[in-house]
Structure 1
Amino acid sequence: MQAKDSNPPDGGYGWVVVVSAFMVMGLSVAVLKTFGLFIVEIQRHFDELASTTSWITSVTIAVFHLGAPVASSLCVQYTHRTIVISGGLLAFSGMALGFFGLNMVWMYATTGFLQGLGISFSWTPAISIVSHYFSKKRVLANAIASAGECAFAFMFGPFFQWLISQYGWEGSLLIIGGIQLNICICGVLMRPLASSCLLETSHCETETPPGNGASRRDKEDTSPNMHKTFNWMLVRRTEFVLYAIFGILTAMSFFVPPLFLVPLSYRLGIDESWTASLLSILAMVDFGGRLLCGWYANLHVTKTIHLLAMAITLISTSLMLLPLANNYISLAIFTGFYGFSFGTTVAIHITVLADVVGMPEFDSALGLFMLIRSTGGFVGPPLAGLIVDVAGDYRAGFYMAGATLALSAGFLIVLDQLQQRKKRGSKIRTKPEKSALPYPSLDILKHQ
């Protein structure tokens, strides 16, 4: 095989992988986003407090994030296909066992732990393999794949309500578990890139002459399986640490609007039916933002990290202005701005991570990034709730989220400046090598 075969296809069968990842996003994360419909039913069945039953979702989210490094480590040891199939089986097991509904501890272990682990083992390798299959069109491919979360969440809301009304919450869990088995089919379609070709390329690169160092680095960026062990040492890289801090701050803020948007609308006296439409608006503009941002970023008019910084700034601004809304129309407008900006952020933040660490380290970086970012998800909602309790107004939570996002944009700016400085330094170091002529006689002729 030739080394050039190891380059990302940037199309072809890669689009089959993108569609598969689109389905995986919908059958995993979208189920998590709409699982709140079951919380009330489970609470009634076991006659428990809302805080007790809500721990099911908390356990799912925690295991989803904490399992990401494990999933990434298994991806570099085995294949993305194998881990996605395993995730589908785990997700099915969680829902199927939850059907028995023995007690709350049972629900924590099944629809909480097993479901969270299944989502983690499905989502992490699915989003990772898309980045391996694409280079020039990576942003567009990631945007399309991530849009599955929005599309399925929009459909799952009424569908899950219908299931509960027809089969009860226990039967609905069993049916949803059966639907999640389709994750395994999607995993089968995620064909690994030829590892033998990559190994051959890696072997050839070790024998590359000293003068071809630049081309050797380019080839390393397109070889996803070069590193067969999970690289925990990424936490020592300044660029990764800066981006991880950005991830923590954004996670602290992204969970706030879904928590306080509905209570704020009730405080404004908006009817319950109109309030529900705000969530639909949020899902639709989120979907549009992901696709539009993916298309624009694919034009390569703007650097992805600059585009991400602009999107974060727009989210921060919309959250700071949202509390000024005093009726349904103004609240819907600001919600739309937030949803669209959020969609653009989700569409490109994984691509920026790949740009920061390079594709050889991407699997390890994705797992570590998810793990570190989870701390923001754990701290953000309680902190915002505390601020709301002290202020006595839900608007305070939105101000806190907006200010935190503005701070996160600052870390992106610092990261971009650091990357540009290193790039200029590498150009200065390589410039004498490029200008040197291989033969002394030609050097003499040059100065005559």
Structure 2
Amino acid sequence: MLLASLDLSLPWLYFTMGILQGIGISFSWIPANSMVSHYFVRWRPIAYAIASSGECVFAILFSPFFQWLIETYTWQGALLIIGGLQLNVCVCGALMRPLEATQCSIQDTKTSLKGDSAVLAPKRKAAFQCSLLRKPELILYIMFAILSAAGFFIPPLFLVPFANSLGMDRYWPASILSVLALADLVGRLTCGWVANMRLLRNLQLLTMVATLLGVVLLLLPISHNYWVILVFASLHGFLFGCVVAIHINSIVDIVSLEGFDSGLGIFMLFRSIGGFIGPPAAGEQSVFRLSG
């Protein structure tokens, strides 16, 4: 964001907000999710839901706030301010406590209490378990990730332009994203709590909410009124939050906790393909319909 504020030319934006920001997110988002999954066992779904809810809280205020920043400080100033806020991720990362050191310390304490003279050392993990790609369940889950990412991220990108095309005032469309983020927060906490009740397996629950989310995506384009768009945006946000709350935890069910880190990396690598293809394809389709 900070570098993007220096120039708004398209190639520069591709490099800064695309490549550099994408690398930064992958280096922060994936380790954070991995640590949460290793820290918690019984309460893993609700712990992940709570840990990921921070982005929803910020997004609730972000849309009107960013619109105000653009009008007050122009695009360059707005990106500069948002980039400064994102630098706080470095502070959060510095405060994270290494999990293996914590486990080793606990084990050493237990050993000393028992009077055992054995010296415990943290077990080494394989650098990357490519053999996980031999699991048919993981391949099917990766296919789900690619297809879902191709469609699930489209509404936040196109809802505001779609509402603007209906002649709505500029702040009303921005409020739609805030409502979507609020519903997303409720969905994450609700689905995390339901997953912790162990009434259904994570994959079964994920199948149900992902199917409902697909139906909402099909109905969203027929909305031509602010309140109807708001209803569908709320449903999308809630169901999307449900998917987010359990789709990472479902990887543990497929590859076990031992292979989770590698499985998460593989999952995110292929899911990015869907996120890369979906929005441009949706934009091309929108241009085609308008020109037609």
Where 1:228 maps in the other structure, the secondary structure is coil
1:181 paired residue among 79, 87, 104: 87
Aligned residue pairs total 278
1:254 is aligned with what amino acid? F
For residues 273 and 354 of structure 1, do their structure 2 counterparts lie closer, same or farther at Cα, with a shift above 3 Å needed? same
Structure 1 vs Structure 2 CA RMSD? 3.1
Match of 1:192 among 73, 98, 103: 98
1:306 equivalent to 2:204? Answer yes
Match of 2:134 among 216, 229, 236: 236
Per mean C-alpha deviation after superposition, the further-off stretch among 278-287 and 131-140 is: 278-287
Rounded to whole Å, the distance in 2 between the matches of 1:174 and 1:262 is: 22
Deviations 1:192-219 (A, max 9, x none): 1234856998xxxxxxxxxxxxxxxxxx
- Find the aligned partners of 1:196 and 1:341 in 2 and give their Cα distance: 35
1:380 is matched with which residue? 278
- Structure 1: gaps spanning 5 or more residues: 1-93, 202-223, 395-448
Amino acid at match of 2:149: A
CA contact 1:199–1:226 (8 Å) conserved in 2? no
Larger Rg, first or second structure (1 or 2):
1
Structure 2 counterpart of 1:279: 177
2:34 paired with 1:128: yes
Counterpart pick for 2:61 among 125, 132, 155: 155
Structure 2 unaligned runs (5+)? Answer: 108-121
Report the Cα distance in structure 2 between the residues aligned to 1:288 and 1:145, rounded to whole angstroms.
13
Distance 1:393 1:336 in 2: 30
TM-aligned CA deviation for residue 242 of structure 1: 0.6
**Matches of 2:209 and 2:54, distance apart in 1:** 20
What letter corresponds to residue 40 of structure 2 in structure 1? F
User: Which runs of structure 2 are paired with 1:66-105 in the superposition (5 Å)?
Assistant: 95=2, 97-101=3-7, 105=11
Counterpart residue type for residue 273 of structure 2: T
Structure 2 distance, partners of 1:391, 1:159, is 31
Following the alignment from structure 2 to structure 1, what is the Cα–Cα distance between the partners of residues 291 and 218?
14
Map of 1:39-54 to 2, 5 A cutoff? none
- Could you say which residue in structure 2 is the equivalent of 1:210? none
Q: Hey, what does 2:155 align to over in structure 1?
A: 257
Offset of residue 270 of structure 1: 4.4
SS of residue matched to 2:99: coil
Query: How far has the Cα of 1:143 moved from its partner?
Result: 0.7
- Sequence identity (%): 51
Give the aligned partner of residue 214 of structure 2: 316
Q: Compute the TM-score of the two structures, normalised by the length of structure 2.
A: 0.81
Determine if contact 2:150/2:277 at 8 Å carries over to the other structure.
yes
User: Does the 8 Å CA contact 2:146/2:274 hold for their aligned counterparts?
Assistant: yes
Could you tell me which residue of structure 2 aligns to residue 344 of structure 1? 242
Give the secondary-structure state (helix, strand or coil) at the position aligned to 2:53. Answer: helix
Matched, 1:247 2:145: yes
Matched letter for residue 291 of structure 1: L
Q: Is the 8 A contact 1:266 1:272 kept in 2?
A: yes
Provide Cα deviations, 1:305-335, integer angstroms capped at 9, x if missing partner. 1111111111122223334434322222222
* Aligned residue in 1 for 2:251: 353
Question: Is this contact kept in 2: 1:195–1:225, CA < 8 A?
Answer: no
What is the rounded CA distance, in whole Å, between the counterparts of 2:43 and 2:99 in structure 1?
A: 17
CA contact (8 A) 1:198 1:226 kept: no
What's the counterpart of residue 90 of structure 1? none
User: For residues 99 and 276 of structure 1, what CA distance do their matches in structure 2 show?
Assistant: 22
Match of 1:141 in 2: 47
Query: Partners in 2 of 1:162 and 1:267 — Cα distance?
Result: 20
- Residue matched to 1:431: none
- CA separation in 2, counterparts of 1:185 and 1:251? 29
Which amino acid counterpart does residue 275 of structure 2 have in structure 1? G
Contact kept in structure 2, 1:225 and 1:360, CA below 8 Å: no
Question: 2:149–2:275: 8 Å Cα contact kept in structure 1?
Answer: yes
The AA in structure 1 aligned to 2:49 is A
CA contact (8 A) 1:227 1:361 kept: no
After superposition, the C-alpha distances for 1:235-282 in whole angstroms (9 at most, x for unaligned) are: 221111010000001011113323443444355554544333222221
- Quote the offset at 1:189 in angstroms: 2.2
For residues 105 and 277 of structure 1, the distance between their equivalents in structure 2, rounded to whole angstroms, comes to: 30
Structure 2 CA distance, aligned partners of 1:102 and 1:278?
26
